[in-house]
Structure 1
């Protein structure tokens, strides 16, 4: 099967109409919320939706934001080249969501914070908060550049869709509806875009199966080509995708994206209750698994169609990331409007990711910098500054797309960026939440060490890419098609990188450290931050128990109901804690009601200037936790 020439369909008028509808509807949602919420003018309403969102739209928004065009275009191409082992990410997603929902979310939600990095000042000190905020901002702007540029380039080179027109349209539309409608516009636009993504994938799966003679035929061809060898239990950390690298390396990578990322936590804390936030995460897991399944099956169907005529090796496309657009035009080119729907599917992921990034960047900048320097801003000024920040970061993220052309394959580049920055951040928050005795010196030193290690391995791997003997791409065939360009057929088998070290010059460092699977970059940063932070804390002296507010920590023993009081006291390191999670002062559920008390003051603080309310919250919670102890003769 497969084409025997380069020709595929091209974009027609109806394709452009369908694609344009995506931008029109997304912009319309921004205008709708700008009009609907015009009487609720406050920065809190604009940035976190007044903390009145329900779990359904938030769940769809979370899925759409991180299942971007990187997944729609890059994941099927990854399956096409390396096989269906990509499906193991399902295990990583599951572990990640459980840990986020049960460990990180309760702490962030009950703290009443707006910026995730505000937690770091409450737990450690302001310099740690500022350093983490700056790292997050750099990470998000660079990642967003990849998300905008890579799919636009792939679509441009296959469909002749205007590259810079697509990039600037994405930036302008996202900036517009973020600025107009705030977080509510972002969430509901994401929900709409998630529906478009599913529709695009569904059409590709149906028509692709028909072209292959049915899903069973495609499955048989994929199996014959070695694409269904999913489970590889080789423990070698240099292997790109094995069960261990994807499950555990992927878990740490995605924990850095979900567990402590402002974009995710901001939408979770916008929910009306902690249970709504938790359900949003679990419903989001279902969405992640559905999109993952669609991407993997699309890759297998694409391989089945081109098993004997690989468009990449034959020179029909110049990069693996162009395979999916080429495949779509090949199978849908005779159906006006359907290729446009798939392009809308890809750009739905892009729009949702960019919009979430712009909103999150504006939030952390306002909360971590603007509100710290100007504490007496009126509601009107706060709103205008928040909207201006959306415009600034919209321009920054769009401009960053230019530099993204040097970052190689879409999936690996995107996850590498998240891994190098997300791992140290995950380690930093874990130090604060899991270890009550960690001090600010340990947090700062651990963050520095973890960041240095993860960038060392990540940048080194970019300069000295691992050879095919380690990455192990599966064989591709061109026996049923004419190779258009012999040179292209030879060079396209190598990932797009800036420099390749000759085999004879590859040192032990290059062969081992730099050849590590890109999914372990986050793990390296996480472990470096954790180990460095704990060692520095032990050398400089632990934090005094009375200086740690109990709702800012959640030792891992709290996740297990079988832990005795003896072990709970040990893990809490002398910090006051309640004996039972479900009971509290006068029978009140501390896990919910006191958490709500902690977050209610920021919601009702319409001027965003009365900082004394936070101090009052701390005093109320401290007293409640002390009174909630059911062991009066215990000394902490």
Structure 2
């Protein structure tokens, strides 16, 4: 392999450290502010879901920042640099995900009055299903969060000289600090601030990089000549890493497992003061996702144009592709004091927002699904302290997981796919409960087990037996203009070191184990859904008459052209025949009464009404029922 002279890049200056430190100071300050402001409203409800009084603007920014972590800031540009701009097709996937979340999943969760997403599973099935799903979520989130903290710290350390463990522990301590002090409101407003920092960091890189290349037209021309603009590959081969179908279909399943049913996202949505605000937050968040994705894709194209004749990865100047972005930043911004610090703040803003969202969500599900069930009569003051204590516990756990991630080696890449592996079966489980009233708890547990098996099997197999080179080979990368250490090296170039291939590969290595990682979620979701339905029918379908109307959106009711007979056959639990007025009123009364038993206790209902004397928007009840609101419920029943 030829040896090239590394031109070297700059390191952090005092101004860079100042800019970076300001990010942590401001984030901590937001936590202190909300701790002081909300000290008189010390309840677990206010701490964990912001008293359900959040508005759509900051929640939208928080939703975007929550999963646009440093993995996105560093990994997405590198992906575009090596494989081309087809990554932009995630815009379509994001659109489908937000529409489905806002119109299908959110109404069910919001109108159910839940705090923990997994509380829904107990209401719909039973406690066994709830506990199983909660345990999977806790393990998934701790593992993913640890990797999110460690991976960018490692990449930045090896390129910028930024202290590895200093950044890891600083991230964990600051996130735990402002989550513990300020609760969800601190997390949401800090995420909003960090989202702004992320965009500023990207814009700084884009502007300076474009100037260095002599304008955007030149950048576009180089990217086109390097085949980086060949976006549409309509191959239906599921083993291909990125095609139109893997990015749109597989990407939709993967991100729907996050946005549709993940506690971190749903918790922010149900913290809004009305369902309308929650939906607006989701649709505004879609704009934020598009902005971040476009910035990441264009950063990758600018980076490719800059290194078109001397790829630092192939030349060996960096040891991993994730280090491309920070290496590029230090090269073009290293002479400008403070700007490298702004980009590092951009990368760590993504990390802070993800870690904070995870800590707050973990504290919420643990309190609601375990503590509250064991100690139902705990006082408001004590519940708040318990919630804060859980934030500290999970903050330590996530930071410790980052330490453990340092010894995982190649497992880090597998851990970054954890959302697809766990999110798919979870998506299938929730879809089973919401869309099919006939599904029972046995089908739910069985379907979840099948879904987890189907998603983990190819993922673990793919890690042990990597896909063949032809499926993962990046586009052409050149070192023609790199300065060689030896004259004889001038005539030869070497491709980046590729994943080694095993000699003794099992039969499934070139089929199931080579499946695109974006299909893990789809496989788990469909497996969980189909197996859940089959097991439910075999074990005896649930009596749909006892399923509360707010907990379902029957698939047989989603399409108006389906006949009444077919709807009944699907077990929608809804009588579509005409009834006289007396029967209809009687049925509505029963449904409403059953509904308010779920909404809350009399005391909680009165508390909510007294906090907001306006007519709270009506609560959804299926077609055959009336719409009611809190004002009428209070007047009628209390």
Given the two structures, how large is their TM-score scaled by the length of structure 2?
Answer: 0.89
- Determine if the alignment matches structure 1 residue 371 to structure 2 residue 372: yes
What is the CA distance between 1:142 and its match in structure 2?
0.7
Contact 1:69/1:147, CA 8 A, preserved across alignment: yes
* CA deviation vs aligned residue, 1:357-380 (integer Å, no higher than 9, x gap): 000000000000000011111111
Contact 1:315/1:483, CA 8 A, preserved across alignment: no
Within 5 A, what are the aligned runs for 1:195-594? 195-405=196-406, 406=408, 408=410, 413=414, 415-482=416-483, 492-494=496-498, 500-502=500-502, 504-560=503-559, 568-575=567-574
What is the CA distance between 1:598 and its match in structure 2?
6.1
Q: For the structure 1 residues 187 and 594, does the alpha-carbon distance in structure 2 shift closer, same or farther, using more than 3 Å as the test?
A: farther
Counterpart Cα distance in 1 of 2:36 and 2:279: 30
Q: For the structure 1 residues 267 and 89, does the alpha-carbon distance in structure 2 shift closer, same or farther, using more than 3 Å as the test?
A: same
Counterpart Cα distance in 2 of 1:437 and 1:168: 48
- Report what 1:75 is aligned to: 76
What is the CA distance between 1:557 and its match in structure 2?
4.5
What is the CA distance between 1:626 and its match in structure 2?
6.4
RMSD (CA atoms): 2.9
Counterpart Cα distance in 2 of 1:505 and 1:204: 45
* CA deviation vs aligned residue, 1:591-628 (integer Å, no higher than 9, x gap): 999999965759947999xxxxxxxxxxx999998654
Give SS of 2:242's match. Answer: coil
Contact 2:549/2:622, CA 8 A, preserved across alignment: no
What is the CA distance between 1:6 and its match in structure 2?
2.7
* CA deviation vs aligned residue, 1:512-534 (integer Å, no higher than 9, x gap): 11110000111111111112111
Contact 1:109/1:595, CA 8 A, preserved across alignment: no
Give SS of 2:417's match. Answer: helix
Counterpart Cα distance in 2 of 1:454 and 1:463: 15
Q: For the structure 1 residues 471 and 603, does the alpha-carbon distance in structure 2 shift closer, same or farther, using more than 3 Å as the test?
A: farther
Contact 1:321/1:409, CA 8 A, preserved across alignment: no
197-206 vs 505-514, which deviates more? 505-514
531-540 vs 49-58, which deviates more? 531-540
Contact 1:51/1:603, CA 8 A, preserved across alignment: no
Counterpart Cα distance in 1 of 2:626 and 2:446: 35
What is the CA distance between 1:422 and its match in structure 2?
0.3
Q: For the structure 1 residues 593 and 215, does the alpha-carbon distance in structure 2 shift closer, same or farther, using more than 3 Å as the test?
A: farther
Within 5 A, what are the aligned runs for 1:164-183? 164-183=165-184
Counterpart Cα distance in 2 of 1:484 and 1:270: 60
What is the CA distance between 1:271 and its match in structure 2?
0.4
542-551 vs 297-306, which deviates more? 542-551
Q: For the structure 1 residues 380 and 429, does the alpha-carbon distance in structure 2 shift closer, same or farther, using more than 3 Å as the test?
A: same
Counterpart Cα distance in 2 of 1:378 and 1:624: 36
Tell me, which stretches of 5 or more residues in structure 2 are unaligned?
A: 579-583, 609-617, 628-638
* CA deviation vs aligned residue, 1:205-243 (integer Å, no higher than 9, x gap): 000001111111111111111111100000000000000
* CA deviation vs aligned residue, 1:93-126 (integer Å, no higher than 9, x gap): 1111111111100000000000000000001110
Contact 2:143/2:415, CA 8 A, preserved across alignment: no
Q: For the structure 1 residues 81 and 124, does the alpha-carbon distance in structure 2 shift closer, same or farther, using more than 3 Å as the test?
A: same
Counterpart Cα distance in 2 of 1:603 and 1:341: 49
99-108 vs 597-606, which deviates more? 597-606
What is the CA distance between 1:313 and its match in structure 2?
0.9
Tell me, which stretches of 5 or more residues in structure 1 are unaligned?
A: 609-619, 630-636
What is the CA distance between 1:145 and its match in structure 2?
1.0
Contact 2:261/2:427, CA 8 A, preserved across alignment: yes
Q: For the structure 1 residues 621 and 327, does the alpha-carbon distance in structure 2 shift closer, same or farther, using more than 3 Å as the test?
A: closer
366-375 vs 5-14, which deviates more? 5-14
Counterpart Cα distance in 1 of 2:96 and 2:356: 26
What is the CA distance between 1:344 and its match in structure 2?
0.2
Counterpart Cα distance in 1 of 2:378 and 2:439: 35
Give SS of 2:466's match. Answer: coil
Contact 1:110/1:551, CA 8 A, preserved across alignment: yes
Counterpart Cα distance in 1 of 2:577 and 2:212: 62
Q: For the structure 1 residues 52 and 477, does the alpha-carbon distance in structure 2 shift closer, same or farther, using more than 3 Å as the test?
A: same
What is the CA distance between 1:311 and its match in structure 2?
0.4
- Report what 1:162 is aligned to: 163
- Report what 1:93 is aligned to: 94
Q: For the structure 1 residues 209 and 345, does the alpha-carbon distance in structure 2 shift closer, same or farther, using more than 3 Å as the test?
A: same
Q: For the structure 1 residues 51 and 484, does the alpha-carbon distance in structure 2 shift closer, same or farther, using more than 3 Å as the test?
A: farther
Q: For the structure 1 residues 598 and 441, does the alpha-carbon distance in structure 2 shift closer, same or farther, using more than 3 Å as the test?
A: closer
- Report what 2:153 is aligned to: 152
Counterpart Cα distance in 2 of 1:136 and 1:43: 21
What is the CA distance between 1:555 and its match in structure 2?
1.8
* CA deviation vs aligned residue, 1:423-479 (integer Å, no higher than 9, x gap): 000000010001110011000001011101211111111111112211131111111
- Report what 2:630 is aligned to: none
Counterpart Cα distance in 1 of 2:520 and 2:594: 38
Contact 1:460/1:514, CA 8 A, preserved across alignment: yes
- Report what 2:65 is aligned to: 64
394-403 vs 570-579, which deviates more? 570-579
Given the two structures, how large is their TM-score scaled by the length of structure 1?
Answer: 0.89
Pairs aligned (count): 602
Contact 2:438/2:570, CA 8 A, preserved across alignment: no
258-267 vs 523-532, which deviates more? 523-532
What is the CA distance between 1:383 and its match in structure 2?
0.7
Q: For the structure 1 residues 262 and 36, does the alpha-carbon distance in structure 2 shift closer, same or farther, using more than 3 Å as the test?
A: same
Q: For the structure 1 residues 537 and 323, does the alpha-carbon distance in structure 2 shift closer, same or farther, using more than 3 Å as the test?
A: same
Q: For the structure 1 residues 407 and 628, does the alpha-carbon distance in structure 2 shift closer, same or farther, using more than 3 Å as the test?
A: farther
Counterpart Cα distance in 2 of 1:332 and 1:355: 29
Q: For the structure 1 residues 408 and 225, does the alpha-carbon distance in structure 2 shift closer, same or farther, using more than 3 Å as the test?
A: farther
Q: For the structure 1 residues 110 and 383, does the alpha-carbon distance in structure 2 shift closer, same or farther, using more than 3 Å as the test?
A: same
- Determine if the alignment matches structure 1 residue 139 to structure 2 residue 140: yes
